Every structure is written in C-alpha cells, then in structure tokens.
Chains A and B, each alone.
Chain A
C-alpha cells in the first residue's frame, strides 16, 4: 500500500492567497484526520471525518479554514485567505476503525505564507 498521500509537499504563497492541501487516505480506512504542527502548539487536531462525514471541526482555527471529504479516497483542507500565522506543517492521517486501530500519517505539507 502506498500509505497516506499528501500534496503538495511544500507550498509557498503570499498572504491573502487561497491555499488547498490535498490528502488521499489509505484504501479501506474510514476515518480521516487533519492536523497542524507548530513549535508552540505541537500537533493540533483541526478536523476529522468518519465515513466521509465531518464529526468534529472544533479545532479549525477560523472561518478561513474549511475541509471537505467528497468521497472515501480524497479530502481537501482549504485556507482562504491565507495569513503568515498559518505557516506550519499540515498532516493528514487515516485509520481503519476505532480508537484502538493504528492511525497512519502522511508525510505532511509544509506551508509558508509570506
């Protein structure tokens, strides 16, 4: 299996621009998670989906952030408009079942907003 796939791996953009991060979970996994990693806050959960349905988006920092999962094999995290404080590494992860199952992470997208 290819594992969790994220694109792009690196993104540099200017403040005010729209940014779209993409994730393909492991086939057969029914839960998908978006995390953000920063030095100050570590790994923060932004939103997660079960069976393509958003369950908890309380970690999404502002209305500028939105996430979708149109089908079981694809999810996007969009930031519009982007700000310099959004600069971080964004990880997508997927899991086959309940909490006792292993959660697998993608390689991350390193975002820099100038």
Chain B
C-alpha cells in the first residue's frame, strides 16, 4: 500500500510558465515533507522541505504548499526553466530517526 502517491507520472510545461507537481499521502503521522529532484544517471538531490507546522515554504523559484487536512502537498516552480526538466520525488517521514517514504516520481519536461 503506497503511503505517498504522485498520481501524475509526467508533466510538460512551457518555459517561463508555472509547473505544479502534486503529491498525496495517507499516513497522518507524517510531519515532515520533502521534494527531491533527479537527473538521469545521478542520485536524487534535495530540493525543498516543509514541516507540518507550516503550510508554505519558499526558496527562490520553488515553493512547497502543504494542506494537512487534505493530506496533500504541491511543488510550484515559477518560472519554469529547461534545466528544471527532471524527475521529481515527493517524500515524507515521521518525527524522529525514521526513513523517508518516497512517491514514484513525476517526470517534468520544460519545453523551450
């Protein structure tokens, strides 16, 4: 049973427009959420995170929104750039020294 779900396997966006990647989770014990970005032949790299005490965290062009009641988070990239083309993984964890649980990923293609 998947605890973290990314229902869109792929997304195409034009350069300069907004990219919105979505993620849903089922475990109400999750209180820390992250997005990782992965290029081909490389390991995933950390992008941005949010704690459950917040509903928004922003870092430059990247903003993560958390809706705890809906158990939903999203990553907004504005403006999208061709270099953002990658696979984006949503991940979540509980408090303490617990492992991250990952979604299956969404492949973002930013078209010039």
Grouping DSSP codes into helix (H, G, I), strand (E, B) and loop, the B interface class, with mixed when no group exceeds half, is loop
| Chain A residues near B44 (CB-CB < 8 A) | 43, 91, 105
Tell me how far the C-beta of B63 lies from the nearest C-beta in chain A, rounded to whole angstroms.
Answer: 18
| Chain A residues near B104 (CB-CB < 8 A) | 41-43
CB <8 Å contact, B43 and A4: yes
User: At the interface, yes or no: B70 with Cβ under 8 Å from chain A?
Assistant: no
CB <8 Å contact, B46 and A50: no
Grouping DSSP codes into helix (H, G, I), strand (E, B) and loop, the A interface class, with mixed when no group exceeds half, is strand
Band of interface residues on A:
20 to 34
Contact residues of A with B, CB < 8 Å?
4, 31, 33, 35, 41-43, 45, 48, 50, 56, 91, 93, 97-100, 102-108
User: At the interface, yes or no: B69 with Cβ under 8 Å from chain A?
Assistant: no
User: A99 is contacted by which of B43, B94, B102 (Cβ under 8 Å)?
Assistant: B94
Task: With A41-B104, A42-B104 as known contacts, state yes or no: A104 contacts B46, CB within 8 Å.
Answer: yes
| Chain B residues near A99 (CB-CB < 8 A) | 32, 93-98, 100
